[in-house]
Amino acid sequence: MTETQPAPLPAAPRRLGVLLQGVGAVGSTFIAGTLAARRGLGEPVGSLTQLAHIRLGKRTEHRNPMIKELVPLTELDGLVFGGWDIFGGNVFDACETAQVLDGRLTAQLRDELEAIEVMPGAFDPSYVKRLNGTHVKPGGRRAWADALRADIRRFKAANDLAECVVINCSSTEVYSVAGPAHQSVAAFEAALDADDPSVGPSMLYAYAAIMEGCPYANGTPSLGADVPALLALADAKGTPLAGKDFKTGQTLLKTVLAPMFKARMLGVRGWFSTNILGNRDGEVLDEPGAFRSKEMTKLGVIDTILQPDVYPSLYKDLYHKVRINYYPPRGDSKEGWDNIDIFGWLGYPMQIKVDFLCRDSILAAPILLDLALLLNLAQRAGRKGVQEWLSFYWKSPVTAPDVYAEHDLFIQLTKLKNNLRHMAGEELITHLGTEYYEE
Ligand SMILES: NC(=O)c1ccc[n+]([C@@H]2O[C@H](COP(=O)([O-])OP(=O)(O)OC[C@H]3O[C@@H](n4cnc5c(N)ncnc54)[C@H](O)[C@@H]3O)[C@@H](O)[C@H]2O)c1
């Protein structure tokens, strides 16, 4: 099969803007961590764009450059940060509130962090019931959307930026599904004018980003751009999108363990997952409506991987339960505990227990860095709409209509790397012939 040769990739912008919806634990850890890495105060561990290599050609060619050597990406020094939050202050304040990073590290970055003031957020308290925002824009949905667009333009002009990416890392909104106002661009525009409450804040930021030609990523379970109107708008405007809900801890493990069970044709009777966490995210997720949003993105994973319809004797009656418990003493250090009841030869039962003592924002920060750089790359490569090749980063990958999401982490990685190879005009690695699995 001959691959169509893509056009050569335009050079990366020397400076790239990254605007965050929500500068809380994840947002501030990403910004401070990137500043620390570029000053040599820490390693950007967990970031593919900064650390990973990619094999090219035949194994005998011994070509294994870094991803950032294969495709043009903006250097860390060129990233310019900004964001919105419903609580005021600067990014140093946000780091102090979040208490994720050591104060000795943030003290060294203090000047740079204090120079980034967060802009007032577009906020409707019925979407995030546990928070009372004090740093908010005067409302009406149309006014909010216009103000967010103006913020993006001002940020670009003030920092002399031609290109910018927007990432949603704000609080999870209450569970909602796409309704009549979200079915077409015209209906969505009318809903903005009518201040229709079914348009949540996350959609307003997504809309503003798309209208301003900024690629948009949704790191939360909220709907964001995941409604027909905004998917169509992104297509029309030629803007890349990706989402949703960063895959960081428990779900990351699920998307490695579940494919292993299926690969070995081992049965699974039950999977009980519980979490304790004490950060603001945990407080927001303690509210049933917000938990429902998170539960939906967490639950989808196992069924798609295990295919109970194809393997009913192994997975049909699988009982899957997910719990999130707000437990303040833990702060950002989450404990994700899984009990998995599996069975083997002749149905004999076994159990697996996984106790992941993780740090939520430490796991999420490198994902934001990769997404900012890779979505900008996608834009330069002329890609628009949902970027399924970035499903690697998501608990609940948004897909084209009528296509199921790919959840297996290693298939997702293969897809990501093959897309990079394709963009760079390199041969795809299909693992046929004498190739073996070596990503
Ligand atoms: N940390 C992880 O591993 C992880 C993984 C997947 C998803 N997430 C999601 O990322 C999001 C952020 O997590 P976090 O730990 O940083 O939470 P956080 O509570 O520390 O930060 C969220 C911030 O968003 C702000 N906010 C709320 N509504 C806003 C609005 N309308 N406009 C602007 N800002 C708004 C809040 O004031 C807060 O500062 C959550 O939705 C969480 O579920 C986190």
Res. 108: pLDDT tops 80: yes
pTM of the model: 0.95
Rounded to whole angstroms, the Cα distance separating 37 from 45 reads 10
pLDDT at 57 exceeding the cut of 60: yes
124 pLDDT exceeds 80?
yes
> Whose alpha carbon is nearest atom 40 of ligand 1?
171
Residue 129 pLDDT level (bands cut at 50, 70, 90):
confident
Which pLDDT score is estimated for 433?
A: 57
Closest atom, ligand 1, to C-alpha of 27: 16
Rounded to a whole number of angstroms, the distance between the first and last alpha carbons of the chain is 21
Strands 267-277 and 319-326: parallel
| Per-residue pLDDT, 271 | 96
pLDDT value for 112? 98
**Which residues pair with residue 190 across a beta bridge?**
none
As a whole number of angstroms, the distance between CA 205 and CA 32 comes to: 23
- In the chain, where the domains are located: 16-246+362-423, 250-359
Atom of ligand 1 nearest to the CA of 363: 3
- Mean pLDDT over residues 109-116, rounded? 98
How remote is the CA of residue 88 from the centroid of ligand 1, in Å? 15
Residue predicted with more confidence, 247 or 3: 247
The reply to whether ligand 1 has any atom less than 6 angstroms from the CB of 201 is yes
Domain 250-359 of CATH type 3.30.360.10: yes
Tell me if 123 CB under 6 Å of ligand 1.
Answer: yes
What is the pLDDT of the chain when averaged over all its residues? 93
Q: How far is the CA of 85 from the centre of ligand 1 (A)?
A: 10
Q: Check whether 413 has a pLDDT greater than 50.
A: yes
Report, as an integer, the average pLDDT of 148-170.
Answer: 98
Please check the confidence at residue 320 and state whether its pLDDT lies above 60.
yes
Q: Where are the beta strands (DSSP E) in 151-251?
A: 164-168, 216-218, 240-243
What's the mean pLDDT in 181-199? 97
Greater confidence (271 vs 436) lies with 271
Architecture of domain 16-246+362-423: 3-Layer(aba) Sandwich (3.40)
Q: What phi, psi does 7 have (nearest 5°)?
A: -65, 150
Q: Which residue has the higher pLDDT, 199 or 300?
A: 199
Number of neighbouring beta carbons within 10 Å of residue 115? 11
254: cis peptide before it, omega within 30°?
no
Q: If DSSP states are collapsed to H, E and C, what string results for 325-351?
A: EECHHHCCEEEEEEEEEEECHHHCEEE
Looking at residue 3, its pLDDT comes to 52
Quick check: CB of 173 below 6 Å from ligand 1? no
Cα 360 to middle of ligand 1, angstroms: 11
User: Ligand 1 centre and the CA of 27: distance in Å?
Assistant: 8
Local confidence band at 1 (pLDDT 50, 70, 90 cut-offs) = very low
Per-residue pLDDT, 432: 66
Nearest CA to ligand 1 atom 6: 246
**Higher pLDDT pick, 300 / 239:** 239
pLDDT of residue 237: 97
Give the ligand 1 atom nearest the CA of 358: 3
Given the DSSP bridges, would you call strands 79-85 and 16-21 parallel, antiparallel or unpaired? Answer: parallel
